[in-house]
């Protein structure tokens, strides 16, 4: 795999580590144009006196003069669009200070080939979404958000308590008047979306709370199911309807990240920024890009109208009105169009919404 960064800056006071890491990035990820420095005081000089834009910055933690946390802060200020990686032989000791260290990714030292591959995976997922330069800049100042670990595949294979409560979803579906084929598709899609994010649940329980996470999962499932049923009853294809379902249901991940940042830092961030974390956690980037397009553009299809109307109005005073339209036997796509034309439209995360 060749990851996107073409300019990488590595800082470590150990020249052997610099040489080893540089070779690993070149051989494993085919990274080009790697610059290595062993003097922490030169970081600001390299960033200020060069026309080169560094896509990736990797630094050791324990160093003389300034430590890795201080070096990361310099990079965050001087080059916020650079993805920042902190290496440490004892990551556990700084675990409680993650939010005080302006790193995007933490990597063990000594590192393994698996660590290098995982670094490439995270970088690729973080950069695969279509974001504006302004959003890329804002991303650089987002506080640390938990990311997957390299053993994610193993974690996903373990049984998680919530996956045993799919009966909750079945109870929703039982009253939805879907045929057996559509019922099976919804159960498969919802189980798949949850299975992919078992580790996500565990990483955010302490900060967001288990009850809150479950509430968000069930909230977005309910809206996604209503939207799916409405679309199927109004001649939207099964394929388009399941896309609507997935676009809406997967928003529970964005909401959990939003709640994490809001609770920990008192800040709200735009949907396009939260989407980057959703992508890193495994939500398909094509799905995210399509959802973002629906949110910011005038809808040009029935499926876009359904999706936009629902996403614009979840967690607002308009919820009941939208729900009534979706479940009414007398409403249709025109009913949503009429409502959409008179409602406030925004793609910015506001208090209590997503």
pLDDT of residue 154: 46
Domain of residue 324 covers: 152-342
- Overall domain count for the chain: 2
pLDDT of residue 259: 92
Please indicate, yes or no, whether residues 117 and 162 belong to a single structural domain of this protein: no
Please indicate, yes or no, whether residues 271 and 326 belong to a single structural domain of this protein: yes
Please indicate, yes or no, whether residues 104 and 194 belong to a single structural domain of this protein: no
41 and 13 Cβ atoms separated by less than 8 Å: no
In a domain, 224, yes or no: yes
Angle between helices 210-233 and 180-195 (to 10 degrees): 150
Please indicate, yes or no, whether residues 182 and 293 belong to a single structural domain of this protein: yes
b/e 164-182 (16+ beta carbons within 10 angstroms → b): eeeeebeebbeeeebeeeb
Please indicate, yes or no, whether residues 208 and 98 belong to a single structural domain of this protein: no
In a domain, 138, yes or no: no
In a domain, 27, yes or no: yes
31/9 Cα distance (integer angstroms): 11
Please indicate, yes or no, whether residues 115 and 162 belong to a single structural domain of this protein: no
CATH of the domain at 22: 3.40.50.2300
- Cβ partners under 8 Å of residue 69, min gap 6: 61, 86, 100, 101, 102
Please indicate, yes or no, whether residues 100 and 206 belong to a single structural domain of this protein: no
In a domain, 242, yes or no: yes
Please indicate, yes or no, whether residues 183 and 329 belong to a single structural domain of this protein: yes
Final residue before a domain boundary, out of 127, 142, 169: 127
Percentage of residues in the chain having pLDDT higher than 90: 36
In a domain, 1, yes or no: no
In a domain, 143, yes or no: no
pLDDT of residue 346: 41
Please indicate, yes or no, whether residues 186 and 103 belong to a single structural domain of this protein: no
Query: Does the N-terminal peptide bond of residue 110 adopt cis geometry, omega within 30 degrees of 0?
Result: yes
Please indicate, yes or no, whether residues 190 and 303 belong to a single structural domain of this protein: yes
pLDDT of residue 352: 44
Please indicate, yes or no, whether residues 162 and 277 belong to a single structural domain of this protein: yes
Please indicate, yes or no, whether residues 122 and 160 belong to a single structural domain of this protein: no
pLDDT of residue 60: 93
The pair of three-digit structure tokens given for residue 327, joined into one six-digit string: 């479940």
pLDDT digits (tens, 9 = 90+) for 38-96: 998 899 888 887 778 898 999 999 888 888 989 999 999 999 889 999 998 887 777 66
In a domain, 320, yes or no: yes
Final residue before a domain boundary, out of 111, 127, 143: 127
SS3 177: coil
pLDDT of residue 1: 59
In a domain, 72, yes or no: yes
Final residue before a domain boundary, out of 77, 92, 127: 127
pLDDT along the chain (354 residues), means of 10: 76 94 92 90 84 90 87 91 89 69 88 92 80 73 81 49 56 71 87 82 87 91 93 92 95 93 79 85 89 86 93 90 92 89 52 49
Residue 84: enclosing H or E segment and its boundaries?
strand 83-88
Output phi, psi for 59, to 5 deg.
-135, 150
pLDDT of residue 203: 86
Q: Which of 176, 168, 262, 160 is nearest to 219 (CA)?
A: 168
- The distance in angstroms from the start CA to the end CA of the chain is 34
Q: Which of 258, 221, 261 is nearest to 354 (CA)?
A: 258
């Amino acid at each position: 795999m060749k990851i996107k960064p073409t300019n990488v800056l590595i800082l470590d006071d150990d020249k052997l580590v610099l040489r080893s890491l540089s070779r690993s990035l070149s051989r494993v990820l085919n990274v080009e144009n790697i610059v290595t420095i062993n003097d922490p005081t030169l970081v600001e000089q390299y960033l200020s006196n060069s026309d080169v834009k560094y896509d990736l910055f990797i630094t050791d933690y324990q160093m003389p003069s300034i430590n890795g946390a201080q070096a990361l802060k310099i990079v965050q200020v001087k080059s916020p669009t650079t993805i920042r990686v902190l290496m440490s032989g004892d990551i556990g000791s700084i675990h409680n200070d993650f939010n005080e260290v302006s790193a995007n990714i933490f990597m063990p030292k000594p590192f393994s080939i698996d660590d290098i591959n995982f670094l490439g995976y995270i970088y690729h997922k973080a950069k695969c979404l279509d974001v504006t330069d302004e959003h890329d800049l804002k991303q650089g100042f987002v506080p640390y958000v938990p990311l997957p670990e390299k053993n994610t595949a193993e974690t996903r294979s373990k049984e998680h308590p919530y996956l045993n409560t799919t009966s909750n979803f079945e109870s929703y579906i039982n009253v939805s008047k879907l045929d057996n084929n559509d019922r099976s598709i919804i159960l498969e899609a919802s189980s798949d979306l949850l299975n992919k994010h078992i580790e996500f649940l565990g990483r955010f329980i302490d900060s967001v709370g288990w009850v809150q996470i479950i509430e968000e999962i069930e909230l977005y499932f309910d809206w996604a199911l209503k939207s799916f049923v409405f679309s199927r009853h109004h001649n939207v294809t099964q394929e388009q309807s399941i896309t609507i379902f997935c676009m809406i249901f997967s928003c529970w991940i964005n909401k959990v990240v939003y709640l994490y940042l809001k609770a920990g830092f008192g800040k709200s961030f735009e949907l396009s920024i939260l989407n980057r974390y959703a992508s890193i956690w495994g939500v398909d980037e094509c799905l995210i890009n399509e959802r973002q397009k629906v949110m910011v553009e005038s809808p040009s299809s029935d499926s876009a109208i359904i999706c936009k109307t629902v996403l614009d109005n979840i967690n607002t005073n308009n919820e009941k009105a939208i729900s009534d339209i979706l479940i009414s036997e007398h409403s249709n796509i025109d009913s949503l169009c009429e409502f959409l034309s008179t409602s406030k439209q925004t793609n910015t995360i506001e208090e209590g919404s997503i």
